[in-house]
Structure 1
């Protein structure tokens, strides 16, 4: 479900910038339509896509609805993240990498450029370790690590 939350936050940033390519707008509209059909209101996250609180609220709602098993929604979210990475990479810096309640054997994060925090990991577990390389935080806001 984290891919859905990330996709919505990235889509909201891309749309807020006002210059999202048609492929991004279309992919974002598809995700929003699917969420709307499931009764999920995105207005708070769209207003504050950089808010960890709003992303956590969406994650909780998706969890409560069992969205992890929603193949159509997951595919649409993955498609949105993919097209943003290709056609609207500037949407990424407002979000960075934000993981919450993830369990995996190992975490590797590379090549992150963020206007805020580069990586946030909360309530997660990686028994074999974490590798972080080539992270740039606070980009565009002076020299903040």
Structure 2
């Protein structure tokens, strides 16, 4: 994952987990530290992603603003982003989900993923460090919350 995408992912994870009332203080503290660094050092606001962390448009806009601000070269911000991801994995049960398709470090002409069904507190498709020349097609993903406490 490129450095700016890591920071965006950490903001999304922190906004999703760290701002919940029941969030562990470790998650909340790590996220607020990252957010403060981004705002104070680079003048980039993350409020739009906080309000709508699932919005790809908001994430892409933040990615562009962070790249323009040079956040990818700020070692302290990258370290804080890693801390957020680590805290979310350790303290937020929703982050420890099952994944239907999990691809890491893939280089391919074309990737096509269809008809994935997962149940419980799960993610249909998770891609990390994936490079394609012909694109990625993802269709027919179904996530059934089932008996998961996160999905009553």
Task: Tell me, yes or no, whether TM beats 0.5.
Answer: yes
Q: Which has the higher strand share?
A: 2
Is residue 42 of structure 2 the alignment partner of residue 42 of structure 1? no
Is residue 96 of structure 2 the alignment partner of residue 87 of structure 1? no
Secondary structure of the residue aligned to 2:143 is coil
Cα 1:35–1:5 change in 2 (3 A) is same
Count of residues in Structure 1 that have an aligned counterpart in Structure 2? 119
- What is the RMSD computed on CA atoms of the aligned residues? 3.2
* Structure of larger gyration radius: 2
- State the distance in 2 between where 1:70 and 1:78 align: 13
Structure 2: runs of 5+ lacking an equivalent: 109-120, 148-152
- State the distance in 2 between where 1:17 and 1:138 align: 22
Q: Displaced runs of 4+ in structure 1, greater than 6 A?
A: none
Matches within 5 A, 1:133-144: 138-140=143-145
Secondary structure of the residue aligned to 1:17 is coil
Residue 15 of structure 1 and its aligned partner are, at CA, apart by: 3.0
TM (normalized to structure 1)?
Answer: 0.68
Secondary structure of the residue aligned to 1:125 is strand
Residue 19 of structure 1 and its aligned partner are, at CA, apart by: 0.9
Residue 54 of structure 1 and its aligned partner are, at CA, apart by: 0.6
Residue 120 of structure 1 and its aligned partner are, at CA, apart by: 6.5
Residue 89 of structure 1 and its aligned partner are, at CA, apart by: 3.4
